[in-house]
Amino acid sequence: MADNFWHTFKKPVFTLAPMEDVTDTVFREIVLGISNPDYLNVLFSEFMSTDGFCHEIGRPKVSHRLLVNDSERKLLKEKNVKIVAQIWGKDPEKFYNATKVICEEYDFDGIDINMGCPVKKIVKQGGCSALIGQPELAKEIILATKEASDIPVSVKTRIGLSKVVTEEWISHLLDTNPAVITVHGRIQKQQSEGEADWDEVAKAVKLRNDRGSDTLIHGNGDVMSLEDGFIRAEKYGVEGVMIGRGIFHNPWFFNMRQSEKTPEERLALLWNHASLFVNTWGEGKNFAILKRFFKIYTNGFYGAAQIRAKLMECNNLDNVGNVLDSFKE
Ligand SMILES: Cc1cc2nc3c(=O)[nH]c(=O)nc-3n(C[C@H](O)[C@H](O)[C@H](O)COP(=O)(O)O)c2cc1C
Instruction: Assign residue 323 the CATH number of its domain.
Output: 1.10.1200
Q: How far is the CA of 65 from the centre of ligand 1 (A)?
A: 15
- For residue 54, what pLDDT is reported? 98
Whether 307 and 323 have beta carbons less than 8 Å apart is answered as: yes
Question: For residue 310, what are the CA distances in angstroms to 5, 271, 275?
Answer: 44, 14, 17
Mean pLDDT, to the nearest integer, of 209-222? 98
Closest Cα to atom 7 of ligand 1: 19
Instruction: Report pLDDT digits (tens) over 148-199.
Output: 999 999 999 999 999 999 999 999 999 999 999 999 999 999 999 999 999 9
Does the residue 255 lie in any domain?
no
Q: Are residues 239 and 300 in the same domain?
A: no
Q: Are residues 240 and 319 in the same domain?
A: no
Strands (E), the chain: 13-16, 42-44, 48-49, 82-88, 110-115, 153-158, 180-184, 216-220, 240-243
Q: Are residues 85 and 112 in the same domain?
A: yes
Q: Are residues 212 and 272 in the same domain?
A: no
Closest Cα to atom 22 of ligand 1: 221
Strands 240-243 and 82-88: unpaired
* Protein residues with CB under 6 Å of any ligand 1 atom: 17-20, 22, 46-47, 86, 114, 116-117, 156, 184, 220-223, 243-246
Domain count, the chain: 2
Task: Report the CATH number at residue 137.
Answer: 3.20.20.70
On whether the pTM is more than 0.95, the answer is: yes
Whether 65 and 48 have beta carbons less than 8 Å apart is answered as: yes
Q: Are residues 72 and 12 in the same domain?
A: yes
Q: At 206, which helix (H) or strand (E)?
A: helix 198-211
Among the candidates 249, 273, 304, a domain finishes at 249
Q: Are residues 142 and 285 in the same domain?
A: no
Among the candidates 249, 281, 309, a domain finishes at 249
Domain containing residue 306: 261-328
Residues 6+ apart with CB under 8 A from 302: 263
Instruction: Report pLDDT digits (tens) over 62-76.
Output: 999 999 999 999 999
